[in-house]
A = this chain, B = another copy of it.
Amino acid sequence: MNKCASIITFNIIILSLIGCSLIAPKAKVPEMDPGFCMNCHQEVTPGLFQSWVESKHAKNGVHCMTCHIDHQAATEQKSMVFPDKCGECHKKQIEDFQESRHSIGFERLRIQGEYLGIPQEIRAAFCERCHSIEKKCNSCHTSHRFSLKEARDPAACGTCHLGPDHPHKEMYETSLHGTIYNLTQNPDRAPRCVTCHMPEGSHNSSFGIARGPAGTRSPVVDLKEVPISKEEQERRREEMLGVCTGCHSRRFAQEQLENADQVKEAGFKLMEEGKESIQEIAKEGLLYPSVAERMPHPTEGRTLVLADPQLYIGTSYIERLFFTMFKFHSIRVWKSGYHFSPAYTHGYGWIEMQLDLIDIKEEADKLRELLKQEKK
């Protein structure tokens, strides 16, 4: 957009804001000329300004001060707009969101061993970028365009749900669901993340999830970490089947989800086998460094932690082998079972777990062999 056109747009926006004040939004708008901020910001941050101009907010008279309160606050460090503020207009969405695991993203992070063991600059560059979703509606509804089209696209979910430890994005993209959606861009032709996890615009992204969580801990839990009853699990499974049957027969959908349940169990069984090997080695006193010799676990103390919340720093080599098995490979097997990605279930998951098991048993043998030599 050239400068001239931009100024015309700006004037139209100002005029509509004046008009819009007659049909005021629900949130209380402080008494301030909306042109005050924009006068400068169309020059100093043109990209930001342009995004807002094209937003539904702009069309509905939601301007800088509606959310940032006053110009003083907006220029201060960390002038973030928190969900409470958004909730003044988007009440239903915030209520749903509070039911989802997204709403405890930061709270859970703060007590995570992995997070506690690293310096602040490192935390800021990764952990906090995603876990701040608890405090940032613009994790998904990116500033300052707040486009629904963007927020509903699998790519929006994929900015956090990706990578070796939770490749949801990659699983989806390598499934038939993801392939057809990417090809057609038609959510009636194939599901996107929100089709199954946030149906009908619900902001409770934990919808329909009946099995979980990662690691070797037991069944799915609620937001207070309390295991969910068998009945509640069945109710959730029915919820999910309700989505599947939009396109598939109930028989087929049930078969697929039950197969995924079995794949999950098979993967966990392999993980247990690895765990037992290491527990035996620990009993035989062959962990170097031993649990006693090393820094205590930040949340679990002086104990052998295998699987979540196991750390990847300062452990013995055999525990490090298990870390990869549980953190990267096991999650691929079981989660891709439910996301229907053969490549992630098999090549990136099941094969890797079997190779991990060989590695762990080999290391156990070598440790015992070295001990035998030493005793001679």
Which A positions have Cβ atoms within 8 angstroms of B? 1, 44-48, 50-51, 75, 77, 118-119, 121-122, 124-127, 129-130, 142, 145, 147, 149-150, 153, 155-156, 158-160, 162-165, 174-176, 179-180, 182-184, 188-189, 245-249, 251, 259-260, 262-263, 266, 288, 312-317, 320, 323-324, 327-328, 337, 340, 342-348, 350-351, 354-355, 358-359, 362, 365-366, 369-370, 373-374, 376
Contact = CB atoms under 8 A, between A and B. Distances in A.
Contact of A342 (B51, B160, B251, B313): B160
A362 B77 CA distance: 45
- Closest 4 A/B residue pairs (Cβ): A163-B343, A47-B247, A126-B346, A121-B262
Nearest to A161: B343
A179 B159 contact: yes
Integer count of this chain's copies in the complex = 3
A175 B158 CA distance: 10
Residue among A45, A47, A247, A350 with max Cβ neighbours from chain B (10 Å): A47
7 contacts: A45-B249, A48-B247, A48-B248, A159-B175, A160-B342, A163-B344, A164-B348
Contact of A188 (B50, B149, B344, B348): B50
Contact of A320 (B77, B174, B323, B355): B355
